[in-house]
Structures are given as structure tokens and as C-alpha cells.
Amino acid sequence: MATEWVAVGKGIRYREPDSRKHGKRPDRYWTIVYKRDGKTYNEAVGWWSQGASQAQAEELLAQLRQNWRNGQGPQSGNAGGWADGPRGTSQRASTR
């Protein structure tokens, strides 16, 4: 059965798949949704069991909106500048 998205704020949503648990409760997969240049973007924040939360999603979306206004910094959640991103772990391999 497909799980439905639950919107918890403007541009923030999660889903709870039946197949994945966090303790006794269903795990939550957090995402942000935004429109930029006429396109709709859906970007992953992460799983609740791996440290992602609504607060982190809100923080990421707020930072992106500020960057759009200022024209500086990462313009999407998948940009290289988010290597230490919302989950606090580096996604980029070390070059040393």
C-alpha cells in the first residue's frame, strides 16, 4: 500500500511507510517542497530514525529562502555547500 504525504507546514511534509519502524512507531521520511523558476522541487531531508526532524526541515527551507533573497550561498538542498547539511554528517568524500 502506498503511503500518503502529510503536510506539517508550508513546504514541509513527511510519510510513514508501513515497512519501516522507529522503535514502536512508524519511521518518518522528511522532505521539503518548493517552487523555483517555475519548477517544483522535492528534496529529501532524511529519516527520523537517522536524526532528521521537522525542525531541521524548517531550518533548511528557511536558509534556502534567505539565500534566494540574498543571491548567495547554496540555492538548493542538494548543492555541494550542504555537505554537512541537516543531518550533520558529511556526504562528500574527503580529498586529503
* pLDDT the model gives residue 33: 93
The pTM assigned to this predicted structure is 0.72
**Residues 6 or more apart from 1 whose CB is under 8 A from it?**
18
* Whole-Å CA distances, 30 to 6, 40, 58, 69: 10, 17, 10, 24
Q: Which domain holds residue 13?
A: 6-72
Q: Which CATH number belongs to the domain containing residue 28 in this structure? A: 3.30.160
* pLDDT the model gives residue 84: 44
pLDDT by residue for the chain (96 residues), tens only, comes to: 567 999 999 999 999 988 888 888 889 999 999 988 899 989 999 999 999 999 999 999 999 889 988 888 777 776 544 434 444 443 433 343
As for how many domains the chain has, the answer is 1
